[in-house]
Structure formats: structure tokens, C-alpha cells
Amino acid sequence: MASVSDWIEGARLRTLPAAAAPVIVGSAAAYHLGGFDPLRACLALVVALALQVGVNYANDYSDGIRGTDDNRQGPARLTGGGLARPKAVLGAALGCFALAGVTGLALVAVSGTWWLIAAGAGAVAAAWLYTGGKHPYAYMGIGLSELMVFVFFGLMACVGTSWTQVRQAPWWLWASASALGLLSVALLMANNIRDIPTDRLSGKMTAAVRLGDRASRWVFAACAWAPVAVIAAVGTSVGLQPLATCALAVGAGAWAAGVSLPVLTGASGKALIGVLRNTGFYTLAWGVLAALALVLS
């Protein structure tokens, strides 16, 4: 039977900073635009975190029953490692999706943004079909995984959070959301670079498998560095002092260098676990830096 620590590991808490970042930026944007609502921000945060943990458990379950995780190099999975019954892991995933759904409905009710019901349903469907169902798109290697991560954990999470508080979406909000989407893609790419050898053996044709090791590492670096330019552009656009804008860009650049250097110099296997963790923290740090630009301007 899986221990509490096994379930916590299965939830992959290192992915949660990246899930929180779009809510932080979206709420800071609402503050900048004069419509910040703490209750709606908190509800959006619960939705984001519950959805992320649900994705993690669903991925554990689906990959585990397919045998994809039999030879993985990261921490043992609940299903693939035989630590928990598959039905229990599936139940945990569905429970998280239910929490995200109920909280999302509460957010829709207090904000009146009823169109978000369809967007939320799409997010849950994308989360499940990533590795679940008869034809999971994570196994296709055509970039759908990266696109879905960009859309739902970048654009929708950030712009959606702001829209529930203030009915405005200026270009710099979309740019910020895009930067967060790219960082989420980087997180996924780091995970898939690590798993290229085992994914190839198990038939899981991720984009990293199709692109190959070298090209995938450059894609990761591009996704890590593009947000540095975005934060400079956003700071300038919202009227932040040039020196402060420069400081934020330098801070983001330091994070980008820190996560991309190991990847570009050939880190592999378990060495990429640290990259995964640090990319998650970079996403959170970028979100905090962008939020500072919006709040202080």
C-alpha cells in the first residue's frame, strides 16, 4: 500500500509553482487595471492547482497501465511502480478534477463569466486525453501536448484569471500569458528529454522523441529565454521605470541561464530531475517578477 509520502510524490508538487504562476500574473493584471478581487483570485488558484495535480495522477494512471513507466529514470510512479492500485490512482485523479470543476463553477457563478464552463471542460478533457483514452495525444509526437500545455496552462489560466476579475485583456496580458505558456512547454520538454530512451522503447512518440535529443534541448532553451524579452516588453508597455524594467529582465535572464545551461551541456537521466524542479521555480519567479511590474507601474 502506498504511503502518504508516496501519494505526495505522485502528486508531483514540484509542478505546482508553474500552475500558480498564471494566476499570480492574471491577478496582478487585474490589479493594474483596477479590478482585483481576492476571492476570485483564490478560487482561480484552487482550480489551477487541483487541475495540475489531477493531470499528474491521471498521467501516472494511464502511463502505468500501459507499461510506459516500467523503465523510467525518475522517481517511482504509483501505478507503474506498483505502489498503489490503479483504481485508487484513477480515483485520486478524478477527485482532483471534480474539485477543479466545483471550484470553477463557483468562480463562474461569482464572476458571471459563463463561457469559462466550456473552457474548463476543455481543460479537463485535454488533461485526461493527454495520456488517457484509446488514442492519447501524448503518444502522437505531433506537438499537440505542447500546444495544449501552452493554451491551457498559459493563455487560458492567465487571461481567464484576469477576465473573471476585470473585463479587459490588453496585448501585454496575452504576451505575459504566452510567456507562461512557453515556460510550461519548457517544463514538459525537460521531462520528455529525460524520458527519450524509455519512451522510445515503450512506443511513446513524444515531440522530443521525434525531434531528437539535440533539437529538443534547443527548443527547451528557446522556451526558457523568450520570456526574458517578454518581461522587458511588458514592463516598458505598462510604464514601469526603465531601471526597474532592466532589473526584472536581468532577474529573469539569470533564471533562464540557470535552467538552460545544464540542458544545453548535455544533462541527462536523473540530472534532469533538478532541471524540472528549477524550471517550475523559474516559472513561479517569472510570474512574481511580471506581477511586480504590473503592481508597481
Grid cell digits, residue 165: 476579475
Q: Do the beta carbons of residue 156 and residue 115 sit within 8 Å?
A: no
CA-atom Rg of the chain in angstroms: 19
Quote the pLDDT of residue 150. 97
Q: Structural domain tally of the chain?
A: 1
Residue 26 pLDDT greater than 80, yes or no = yes
The CA distance from 75 to 172, in Å, is 38
- Three cell numbers at 138? 501524448
Per residue in 235-275, pLDDT (tens digit) is: 999 999 999 999 999 999 999 999 999 999 999 988 899 99
Q: Worst-scoring range by mean pLDDT, 79-93, 226-240, 281-295?
A: 79-93
Count the neighbouring beta carbons within 10 Å of the beta carbon of residue 112.
10
Query: 73 pLDDT band (50/70/90 cuts)?
Result: low
Collapsed DSSP state (helix, strand, coil) of residue 98:
helix
Q: How does DSSP classify residue 154? A: I
Determine the pLDDT at residue 278.
95
Residue 146 CA, distance from chain mean position: 10
204: cell is: 511513446
Contact in structure between 244 and 155 (CB atoms under 8 Å): no
68 pLDDT exceeds 90?
no
- pLDDT band at residue 132 under the 50/70/90 scheme: confident
Cell of 295: 503592481
Concatenate the DSSP letters of all residues of 153-219 into one string.
IIIIHHHHHHHTT-S---HHHHHHHHHHHHHHHHHHHHHHHHTHHHHHHHT---HHHHH-HHHHHHH
Question: Can you give the residue range of the structural domain that contains 241?
Answer: 4-296
Residue 121 has pLDDT above 70, yes or no: yes
Q: Which pLDDT does position 198 carry in this prediction?
A: 86
Q: What's residue 6's pLDDT?
A: 83
Polymer length of the chain: 297
Mean pLDDT (whole number) for 12-26: 93
Measure the CA–CA gap between 148 and 185, rounded to whole angstroms.
9
Predicted confidence band of residue 70 (pLDDT cuts 50, 70, 90): low
What tens digit of pLDDT does each residue of 169-224 get? 999 999 999 999 999 999 999 999 999 998 888 788 899 999 999 999 999 999 99
Percent of the chain past pLDDT 90, that is, above it, reads 72
